[in-house]
């Protein structure tokens, strides 16, 4: 009799443990499932595009007048297809109406099929100051143009600043600096620099202007390949740094 009772108790204990284990497994499975759902939600949230916010130019897409607003005047303008979609885009150099000495802003506007423009790139640092401390223009003339998908900016001044030319083009969705050229003339010589950042190529040419035939010496220099984005580029500073690190003539 005692053996039968012990046998019944043993079966009961095994049954209870089995039920408890099944419940725990169910809870664990439920928790894992819930965690999986939460992870999916977090992943989806983190993949959302950030909301466009710019206090100076709050309108990202619309008519040209809507994007530029009333606080700025258009100083220079260039038209042409920048992103190879067959539509004529725009690059604007803006000057603040209330302060003509204020740092100028450059906008890159890509045209849509509905004839609206989308503000794609902004730079407040691309161009050097328009005036020097004495109030005279640093570069005159200045020009911007678009041809074959390339934005060209040409700033002229034989002395003391010299000429500064540079180009940008779209590579995928990035507007990238592809070329800088400078020309400076001094007592007895002149110097030209030709720099291609993406290829890491620098060409330095020095001309002896004291000689009648003005002989020139040229040096090709392989430098570090670099990618400079439009919104972060100061071409004048970039070429100055490359020159100071690699001057050989």
Task: Tell me the per-residue pLDDT of 65-114, one tens digit each, with 9 for 90 and over.
Answer: 999 999 999 999 999 999 999 999 999 999 999 998 899 999 999 999 99
**CA 15 centroid distance within chain:** 68
pLDDT band with cut points at 50, 70 and 90 for residue 186: confident
- What percentage of the chain has pLDDT greater than the value 90? 69
> Which residue ranges make up each domain of the chain?
1-48, 61-246
Please indicate whether residue 75 or residue 3 has the higher confidence score (pLDDT).
Answer: 75
Mean pLDDT, range 44-49, rounded to an integer? 44
Question: Element (H or E) spanning 201, and its range?
Answer: strand 201-208
Instruction: Count Cβ atoms below 10 Å from residue 116 Cβ, excluding itself.
Output: 15
| 21: preceding bond cis by omega (within 30 degrees) | no
Task: Tell me the per-residue pLDDT of 118-134, one tens digit each, with 9 for 90 and over.
Answer: 999 999 999 999 999 99
Task: Tell me the per-residue pLDDT of 133-150, one tens digit each, with 9 for 90 and over.
Answer: 999 999 999 999 999 999
Instruction: Count Cβ atoms below 10 Å from residue 138 Cβ, excluding itself.
Output: 17
Whole-number Å distance between alpha carbons of 36 and 30: 10
Q: Average per-residue pLDDT in the chain?
A: 84
| Residue carrying structure tokens 């570069």 | 139
Exposed / middle / buried, residue 40 (Cβ in 10 Å: 0-12, 13-18, 19+): exposed
């Amino acid at each position: 009799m005692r053996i039968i009772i012990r046998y019944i108790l043993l079966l009961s204990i095994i049954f209870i443990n089995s039920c408890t284990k099944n419940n725990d497994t169910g809870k664990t499975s439920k928790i894992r499932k819930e965690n999986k759902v939460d992870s999916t939600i977090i992943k989806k949230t983190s993949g959302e595009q950030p909301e466009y916010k710019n206090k100076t130019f709050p309108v990202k897409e619309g008519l040209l007048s809507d994007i530029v607003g009333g606080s700025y005047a258009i100083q220079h303008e260039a038209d042409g297809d920048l992103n190879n979609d067959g539509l004529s885009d725009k690059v604007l150099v803006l000057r603040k109406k209330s302060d003509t000495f204020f740092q100028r802003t450059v906008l890159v506007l890509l045209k849509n099929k509905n004839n609206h423009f989308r503000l794609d790139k902004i730079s407040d640092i691309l161009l050097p100051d328009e005036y020097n401390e004495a109030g005279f223009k640093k570069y005159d003339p200045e020009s911007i143009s678009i041809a074959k998908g390339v934005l060209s900016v040409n700033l002229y001044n034989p002395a003391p600043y010299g000429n500064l030319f540079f180009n940008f083009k779209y590579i995928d969705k990035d507007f990238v600096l592809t070329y800088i050229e400078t020309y400076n003339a001094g007592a007895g010589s002149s110097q030209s620099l030709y720099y291609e950042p993406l290829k890491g190529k620098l060409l330095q040419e020095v001309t002896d202007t004291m000689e009648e035939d003005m002989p020139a010496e040229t040096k090709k220099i392989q430098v570090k390949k670099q990618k400079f984005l439009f919104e972060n580029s100061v071409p004048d500073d970039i070429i100055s740094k490359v020159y100071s690190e690699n001057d050989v003539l």
